[in-house]
Structure 1
Amino acid sequence: MNDINKALELLLNKLEAWGRHLVLMLPNLFVALVLLIITFVVARAIRNGMDKVIGRFSHSAALNNLISTLLYLSLLMVGFFFVLSVLQLDKVVVSLLAGVGIIGLALGFAFQDIAANFISGIIIAVQKPFGVGDMIETNEYFGVIERVTLRTIDIRKPTGELVKLPNKMVFENPVTNFSFHGIRRLDLNVGISYAEDLERVQGIVVEALQDVKNRVKTRDIEAMYDEFGDSSINMKARIWITYSRQIDYVSAKSDAIIRIRKAFDANNIMIPFPIRTLDFGIKGGEKLEEQLRSTLEGKDSTQQSDNGK
């Protein structure tokens, strides 16, 4: 019974000490609560103001949201540490800082790829080598950009498939942006018969390409002979077209082919078919004509000898 009384007395003394300490801490608790509320209000107001300021300099919604969120969390953390200091919990602050450092280091090793994609996304958002709607080719993928985030870049291929490329792959590999200048050169290979007047054909090709769909009028048309082929003399015809989508390139190429074919038909210019010479020689390259002659002579002599008999 005495042990129970002592335990109850010890408990009451402890509760009384806590109560006195709580009463003494009431002003600090009130100040801490007010400081915490002020921290949330100020952090939110600063974040809203930064959203408007950053939006004037950067058009990347993902990057703007990242900066404002980091600023908001930083302000909340600073205010939280002040609250702990007011409550005389400085040792807790030191422990939290040490814990945050250790956790951050562990997460950095565990999520290296995610961190690399995240940092690559920030750099891409700052440099802006391409944007939504641009036609690009990277990592053997070709298509139009539908979305740019801080983790992936979404590319819609011309055949309809959606490819989500990690930012790290895009950042570390070459990227061809076909939409950057708004124009693109169209190259056509044209085969001409050896019997044609090359200068005349050259002029006909240039004239035929004058009104090709989407052609840039300020750029000259180039029609230059490139090589002696097996059955034709090959020409490269080059024109510049306005370009924003792949259909611009495809339709211009189709139109150019149609116009060249019509111009050739109107001027009786032949596009040669492939020609192959077959060698049936069985004696070290003996010509077919000589082999046939010797075979026929052999047959004639055989027939003469048979008639003589």
Structure 2
Amino acid sequence: MTLNETLQKIKLALINYWNEFLNHIPGIILAVLIVVLGFLLSNVISSISKKTISIQTKDPLITNFLGKTIKYGFVLLVIIFALKIAGLGYIATGFLTAAGASAVIIGFAFKDIGENFISGVILSFSRPFNVNDTVLIGDVFGKVKTIEFRHSKLKTFDGRDVYIPNSDIIKKPVFNYTEDGYYRTDFTVGIDYNDNIDLAKKVVTKAVVETSGVIDTEEHKCFVTVDSLGISTVNLKVLFWTKTMEYKRGALEVKSDVVKNVKNILIKNGLNMPSNITEFKLYNTQKNIPVLLNK
């Protein structure tokens, strides 16, 4: 084959490709418009889906998860449809075939991403917490804000945003402090050795139960017990329940009121709360303790 014949074939091939491209231009323009409209429409569909789902369930996490799933699924269908309109349906077919054939390879290459995504699906439908629950996951303590496909967001009480991979949540123990709103707290108060312990327990229990915000039922009973014998005090442990979804603020405010009321009722009933006694010992031939006063 001569050089002229080769050039002629290349020229004919380029002309054919160009003509084919020109024939596809209307389809390509239409496909671009379909993709643009599809992306805009996906936001509308996602919003409508969330509103519809929220009527059936008041769970914002499931609503958000299903809304995003519908949105991304719709976008994928729009792209496949646009490729077919543009006469590039074989690209979509090839992409889907390649995706299926390479699923195992991608699974190994993006193991962590896949694991977190599956964990996110599990957490969205069956999970140990809801939005605004106070939880402890590992060493992270805070409020749940969102659950995304790959991670969950917690807001700590000192203002930090922490993003925890969903797979870690599935694997680690999760302590939920506000799932049912009931939370038990305690503190210790010391009375004098000469005081009547039974009287102290009675008046302290009365002060605790009568404090606003304290729950006292058969299931959630408040009580006072002798905890230990200190250097100068008999230590009473006060245990009581509160019902609050605001773990840090609500529970601490109720505890503050309880401590204040217990202090006042002990003083009112003539019960003492002595300070620690410091004992000095003289060893060997030492007869006194020198004390210097600075003027």
TM-score (norm 2): 0.71
Alpha-carbon distance in 2 for matches of 1:8, 1:273: 105
Matches within 5 A, 1:1-309: 4=4, 54-56=53-55, 57=57, 59-60=60-61, 61-72=63-74, 75-76=77-78, 95-218=94-217, 219-245=220-246, 246-280=248-282, 288=283, 291=284
The one-letter code matched in structure 2 to 1:162 is D
Decide which structure has the larger Cα Rg and report it: 1
Contact 2:30 2:85 in 1 (8 A): no
Alpha-carbon distance in 2 for matches of 1:95, 1:265: 84
1:140 positional shift:
1.6
Question: Which blocks of at least 5 consecutive residues in structure 2 are unaligned?
Answer: 288-295
Alpha-carbon distance in 1 for matches of 2:109, 2:10: 47
Contact 2:80 2:92 in 1 (8 A): no
Deviations 1:254-294 (A, max 9, x none): 111111111122222111322344454xxxxxxx5xx55xx
Contact 2:49 2:67 in 1 (8 A): no
> For the structure 1 residues 34 and 231, does the alpha-carbon distance in structure 2 shift closer, same or farther, using more than 3 Å as the test?
same
> For the structure 1 residues 225 and 53, does the alpha-carbon distance in structure 2 shift closer, same or farther, using more than 3 Å as the test?
same
Alpha-carbon distance in 1 for matches of 2:200, 2:17: 103
1:200 positional shift:
0.9
Kindly tell me the number of residue pairs found equivalent between the two proteins.
275
Percent of pairs with identical residues: 21
Q: Secondary structure at the match of 1:209?
A: helix
Equivalent residue, structure 2, for 1:306:
none
The one-letter code matched in structure 1 to 2:123 is I
Contact 1:182 1:243 in 2 (8 A): yes
1:181 positional shift:
0.9
Alpha-carbon distance in 2 for matches of 1:143, 1:13: 69
CA RMSD for the aligned pairs?
4.2
TM-score (norm 1): 0.68
Deviations 1:102-158 (A, max 9, x none): 554443333322222222222111114222221112222222223332222222222
Contact 1:51 1:68 in 2 (8 A): no
Question: Is the helix fraction higher in 1 or 2?
Answer: 1
Q: Secondary structure at the match of 1:237?
A: strand
Alpha-carbon distance in 2 for matches of 1:146, 1:66: 17
